[in-house]
Amino acid sequence: MARSRGGRRMGMKTDRSDILASLRNAGDYVSGQQLCERLGVSRTAVWKVIKQLKEEGYHIESVSNKGYLLVESPEDVLSEEEIASRLTTQWAGRKLYCRRETGSTNNDAKRCGEEGDPHGTVVVADMQNAGKGRRGRAWQTTPGTALSFSILLRPDFPAQRASMITLVMALAVAQAVEAALDGNTEDSAGQAAFAEEGIESRAEKASDPTVRIKWPNDIVVNRKKVCGMLTEMTMTPEMNEIQYLVVGVGINVNNESPLEFQEEIRDKATSLRIEKGCRLNRAALLQDVLCRFERHYQTFLETLTVSGLREAYQARLQGLDGEVRVLDPAGEYTGISRGINDRGELLVERENGERVAVYAGEVSVRGLYGYV
Ligand code: ATP
């Protein structure tokens, strides 16, 4: 499937993503000859790939003496080629499995962990039929609308640090969601990557959406949940170090109406499309999340704390300095949320003035009267 950097031919899929990436990055005509030389494949191979891409809905102009121009990509395809051709990361998603349907991408990524796939491997699925939330809860996905993916990590830090990774991902997703809703994020070709404008009027959603992180890792837009995450850790057989971590992310992207969510979550769930008023490109969103995650992960590794990310995280924290309910299995209590510490714990000031550092493991936080 993979191609070596030297250009050795190893598979059609790689050719397709390489050709797509070359066209996308050029933003201009690229000659067939250039593609052949750059990728080390024959002219017929290039021609075949272009033909296939056209059949799949890519609008590619072919002009003799000039070559090929990618005029437009299909609205929202979540294929391996589409994602790979956009990736600008060093390691996140460089090994990529793209599934039409699966049970849970976290389970798939754990299998990758067992089978020796490298750090940064990503499994993405158009549809999850057994998506998982924390503590055995279910995560609902609707086909063709959600961005569901899991990333496999092979860290060498101590297991006690692992719970902070979920905050690292939460910050990456929150920032990518902000950029997507602003519509000003650019892809590698310098084109607006997200908004497929013109499909619906933006005027319906006049006010700026507010993107918040509900500690530790739910992403909330206009007080409703657009994203959930689940981090799972597997220890070595000796139980003395982490064998691998899997961080799973589910984002409601292109659900058109709240009616697409099951009744029990309808009043607390939303999608980016509902909040923005137009469709978004999931492959571009995934690229942006992975890029930001890679950067934040590096920052995290420098101290093995979230100190370098705390300010950005806290600036987006839902309910900062407001009253929260802490649903601790040992007993529920209320207090004022005072942000997070360097270990990613939520600082809650109780009525008696005592400040407790809440560890994410078994605890959920809610607003006084509802989800936030
Ligand atoms: P917390 O992490 O604070 O306990 P949570 O209850 O939202 O929050 P998660 O494990 O993050 O728990 O997510 C699972 C929950 O999310 C489900 O119980 C359901 O209420 C809600 N949920 C499931 N699918 C979706 C979805 N597609 N969009 C929004 N919310 C969802």
pLDDT tens track for 25-67: 998 999 999 999 888 888 888 999 999 999 888 999 999 999 9
Measure 106 CA to ligand 1 centroid, in angstroms.
Answer: 16
Residue 12 pLDDT grade (very low, low, confident, very high; cuts 50, 70, 90): low
Measure 139 CA to ligand 1 centroid, in angstroms.
Answer: 6
Q: How many helices (H) and strands (E) does the chain have?
A: 9, 16
Measure 265 CA to ligand 1 centroid, in angstroms.
Answer: 8
Measure 142 CA to ligand 1 centroid, in angstroms.
Answer: 15
Q: What is the pLDDT of residues 234-274, one digit of tens each?
A: 999 998 899 999 999 999 999 999 999 999 999 999 999 99
Q: What is the pLDDT of residue 207?
A: 53
Residue from 137, 166, 215 whose mutation best tests the ligand 1 pocket (most atoms within 8 A of CB): 137
Measure 274 CA to ligand 1 centroid, in angstroms.
Answer: 18
Q: What is the pLDDT of residue 198?
A: 35
Which atom of ligand 1 is least distant from the CA of 366? 3
Residue 15 pLDDT grade (very low, low, confident, very high; cuts 50, 70, 90): confident
**Rounded mean pLDDT of 279-306?**
97
Instruction: Look at residue 6 and tell me whether its pLDDT is greater than 60.
Output: no
User: Is 94 within 8 Å of 112 (Cβ atoms)?
Assistant: no
Q: What is the mean pLDDT of the chain?
A: 89
Q: What is the pLDDT of residues 98-138, one digit of tens each?
A: 999 999 999 999 999 999 999 999 999 999 999 998 888 99
Which atom of ligand 1 is least distant from the CA of 131? 24
Instruction: Look at residue 318 and tell me whether its pLDDT is greater than 80.
Output: yes
Residue 338 pLDDT grade (very low, low, confident, very high; cuts 50, 70, 90): very high
Q: Residues near 101 by Cβ (< 8 Å), separated by ≥ 6?
A: 125, 126, 127, 128, 129, 143
User: Is 104 within 8 Å of 128 (Cβ atoms)?
Assistant: yes
Residue 143 has a CB neighbour count (10 Å cut-off) of 12
Residue from 105, 222, 265, 326 whose mutation best tests the ligand 1 pocket (most atoms within 8 A of CB): 265
User: Is 270 within 8 Å of 258 (Cβ atoms)?
Assistant: yes
Within 27-89, where are the H helices?
32-39, 43-55, 80-84
Instruction: Look at residue 13 and tell me whether its pLDDT is greater than 60.
Output: yes
Residue from 105, 212, 225 whose mutation best tests the ligand 1 pocket (most atoms within 8 A of CB): 225
What is the rounded CA–CA span in Å between residue 220 and residue 227?
7
Residue from 106, 134, 223, 270 whose mutation best tests the ligand 1 pocket (most atoms within 8 A of CB): 134
What is the rounded CA–CA span in Å between residue 161 and residue 17?
36
Reference 148, options 130, 129, 127; nearest CA is: 127
Reference 366, options 227, 248, 238, 220; nearest CA is: 220
Q: What is the pLDDT of residue 112?
A: 98
Measure 319 CA to ligand 1 centroid, in angstroms.
Answer: 18
Would residue 12 be called left, alpha or beta, if left means φ above 0 and alpha means ψ between -120 and 50 degrees? alpha
User: Is the pTM higher than 0.85?
Assistant: yes
CB of 218 closer than 6 angstroms to any ligand 1 atom = yes
What is the rounded CA–CA span in Å between residue 162 and residue 190?
35
Ranges of beta strands (E only) in 175-328 are 211-214, 218-221, 224-235, 242-252, 323-327
> Which tokens belong to 264?
């029990």
Q: What is the pLDDT of residue 56?
A: 86
Q: What is the pLDDT of residue 183?
A: 77
Q: What is the pLDDT of residue 273?
A: 96
Instruction: Look at residue 205 and tell me whether its pLDDT is greater than 60.
Output: no
- For atom 3 of ligand 1, which residue has the closest CA? 364
Instruction: Look at residue 191 and tell me whether its pLDDT is greater than 80.
Output: no
Q: Residues near 182 by Cβ (< 8 Å), separated by ≥ 6?
A: none
Return the SS3 of 71: strand
- For atom 22 of ligand 1, which residue has the closest CA? 139
Q: Give Cα 214 to chain centroid, integer Å.
A: 17
Which atom of ligand 1 is least distant from the CA of 215? 3
